Amino acid sequence: MPVPFPPAGHSEDVWRRVRAIFNGQMVVDANVPKLVWEHSYFPIYYFQSADIRSEYLTNKQTGEDADIYDLTINGKSSPSAVKQFKSGDLKGYFKIESGKVDAWFEEDERIFGHPKDPYKRIIILQSSKKVQIEIDGVEVASTSRPKLLYETGLPVRIYIPHTDVRLDLLEDDVDRTSYCPVKGDASYYVVKLPNGDRKHGLAWWYKTPKIESAGIEGHVAFYDEKVDVRVDGVLNQRPTTKFS
């Protein structure tokens, strides 16, 4: 079954004010920016030339398909921050690399990372399935009250209450974080096995999930593809169907 996202190359206008700020100045202010799917996973914003403060574009680097500029404001520069396309359906449009400015706003709300995909949704369901998580033969979690998170185009994820997880085997992984525009900032754990092995990237949780994902607050997810999952006593029977 194909992922139900717009295909790479799809674009559409959105009626929302989008602004970007760098070194205390607004570098873009658009009332009708364009959402562009450079790939099928998530969109980013493109802008018309009238929305960009051209006086902040410096050090033009001419390319065959696009010109690249630095952003420079009051002596502070963000190298290769802006690209203007010279061909195709988006000829003349500008793209600002999301991490090359200090802050992004949709209307008056600050956003982080990439914009939300309007074709994605999340459903969180309480379950009474018996779920057990094992790593190298060690049970690290066991619950009869998991929550199942269905996110468009992704495998179902099992979230387990902290109180049903072996917290004595978990340690905060201060070097690893990730961000999702519909779930929020993820914090990770290092799994410390009794034999001394330390496993990274296998467990995460959201301390303050966004409102549409509030149901997973206080719950831990494990990377099901890399651990052993028992559901109602059957090994590796985790839900794998992608939600559309």
CA distance 99 to 97: 6
Of 111, 136, 160, the residue that ends a domain is: 111
Q: Quick one: CA torsion of 102, 103, 104, 108, rounded to 10 degrees?
A: -150
Q: How many domains does the chain have?
A: 2
What single-letter DSSP state applies at residue 8? Answer: T
Q: Where a domain ends, among 70, 87, 111?
A: 111
133 plus 226 within the same structural domain: yes
Which pair of structure tokens corresponds to residue 215? 């149901």
Within this chain, do residues 96 and 142 fall inside the same structural domain, yes or no? Answer: no
CATH number, domain containing residue 84:
2.170.150.40
Is residue 244 in some structural domain?
no
Burial of 96 from C-beta contacts in 10 A (0-12 / 13-18 / 19+): buried
* Residues 70 and 95 reside in one and the same domain: yes
- 194 three-class SS: coil
Residues 79 and 87: their CA atoms lie apart, in Å, by 23
The per-residue pLDDT for 163 is: 97
180 located within any domain: yes
Q: What is the pLDDT of residue 1?
A: 41
Same domain, 138 and 84: no
Based on the fold, state whether residues 107 and 127 are members of the same structural domain.
Answer: no
- Domain contains 241: no
pTM: 0.81
Residues 130, 209, single domain; the answer is: yes
Same domain, 137 and 63: no
Residue-level pLDDT at 238: 59
Do 136 and 66 share a domain, yes or no? no
pLDDT tens, position by position, 31-67: 999 999 998 888 999 999 999 999 999 999 999 899 9
How confident is the model at residue 7, as a pLDDT? 86
Task: Please say whether the beta carbons of 46 and 55 come within 8 A.
Answer: no
Same domain assignment for residues 83 and 166: no
Same domain, 84 and 138: no
Q: Are residues 38 and 128 in the same domain?
A: no
Distance, CA of 107 to CA of 91 (rounded, Å): 26
Q: Residue 104: which residues within 8 A CB-CB, separation 6 or more?
A: 18, 19, 20, 21, 98, 110, 111, 112
Say if 1 falls within a structural domain: no
Domain match, 126 and 231 both: yes
For the segment 129-163, what is each residue's pLDDT rounded down to a tens digit? 999 999 999 999 999 999 999 998 888 999 999 99
- Domain end, chosen from 84, 111, 138, is at 111
Rounded Cα gap, residues 91 and 84, in angstroms = 8
Distance between start and end Cα atoms, the chain? 10
Distances (CA, A) of 15 to 23, 30, 33, 106, 201: 26, 9, 7, 10, 38
Residue 240 lies in a domain: no
Which residues of the chain are modeled with pLDDT < 50?
A: 1-2
Structural domain of residue 129, as residue ranges?
A: 122-235
Taking 3-state DSSP, the helix, strand and coil percentages for the chain, each rounded to the nearest 5, stand at 10, 50, 40
